[in-house]
Amino acid sequence: MSAPIYGRVALIGLGLIAASMAHAMRARGLAGEITGHAKSAETRAAALEIGLCDRVFDTAADAVAGADLVVLAVPVGVMGAIAAEIAPHLKPGATLTDVGSVKQAVIEAVAPHVPAGVHFIPGHPLAGTEHSGPHAGFATLFVNRWWLLTPLPDTPEAPVAQLRALCEAMGANVDLMEPAHHDLVLAVTSHTPHLIAYTMVGVADHLRRVTETEIVKYSAAGFRDFTRIAASDPTMWRDVFLTNKDATLDILGRFTEELFVLQRAIRMGDGQLLFDYFTRTRAIRRGIIEAGQDTAAPDFGRGAPPPEVG
């Protein structure tokens, strides 16, 4: 057990990420007290029942009172409204962070509401599963995963170091990044791949209806992995694409150009181009495995259900 890094942590939104943070902090003694709030009464009740929080409040304003760290774990589209609600109740000297997949839009929405003396340090844990809700969380979600922090230029070093220490104590690797660069990187590594997965599953569903084939029944591994990605929370991904529009459209344009190259190679029977292309992209996959961000095991270890928590 580690010494508490924060006396009181308030989790606003009690889904997969916040639940996993709660389990990780509790398992390692990283917070003296954990409070929480969720919009749904059912979620609030579940959070208390499974021990995510010491206290759960009906309003976000009540949940953040006296908190040393406040974590916004809600969809990006509502972060501005939540920030406006909690701003008058934030403790002087507290740190406010978020776990959104987009950073520039979050800064634009949240920063204007942050009172003087409160340190706003946007963040993004690159971790998750296709499952959601308070029951989906588990303490090891962040182990050996990256947690990106995008502090504002005038943020003192001490609160950044404290938040970094919390992330690292939960098992994450931490890096600092400019918000605009973060959004471009994530458009490549996460946002556009998710959009492609949603599209491919949508195409297959359309064909299944129109031709009455058995695409879903006979799904091969590639399509199965597309459906795993496309099972992610629709509200979160709607907000991601609306708030990271420019970077995503940029990468989609580049993807379309690459797709045309492959399309022409297939049409023209250019086997050498296809072989060389696939060889280069295969090397990227090997690099991901060597970096410890996935495994070469069958099904990448995803065949087993997530660990039970309670």
Between CA 6 and CA 118 the distance in angstroms is 15
Look at residue 228 and tell me whether its pLDDT is greater than 90: no
Alpha carbons within 13 angstroms on the beta-carbon side of residue 9 total 29
CATH classification number, 6-177, choose in 3.40.50.720, 1.10.10.10, 3.30.420.10, 3.30.70.520: 3.40.50.720
What's the whole-model pTM score? 0.79
Q: What is the pLDDT of residue 231?
A: 73
Q: Which has the higher per-residue pLDDT, 69 or 299? A: 69
Tokens linked to 301: 């270890």
Q: Which of these, 136, 126, 165, 130, lies nearest to 293 by C-alpha position?
A: 126
Mean pLDDT of 106-135: 92
Among 14-23, 88-97, 201-210, which stretch is predicted with the lowest mean pLDDT? 201-210
Q: What is the pLDDT of residues 15-51, one digit of tens each?
A: 999 999 999 999 999 999 999 999 999 999 999 999 9
Q: What is the CATH number of domain 181-301?
A: 1.10.3660.10
Tokens linked to 192: 């556009």
Which sequence spans correspond to the domains of the chain?
6-177, 181-301
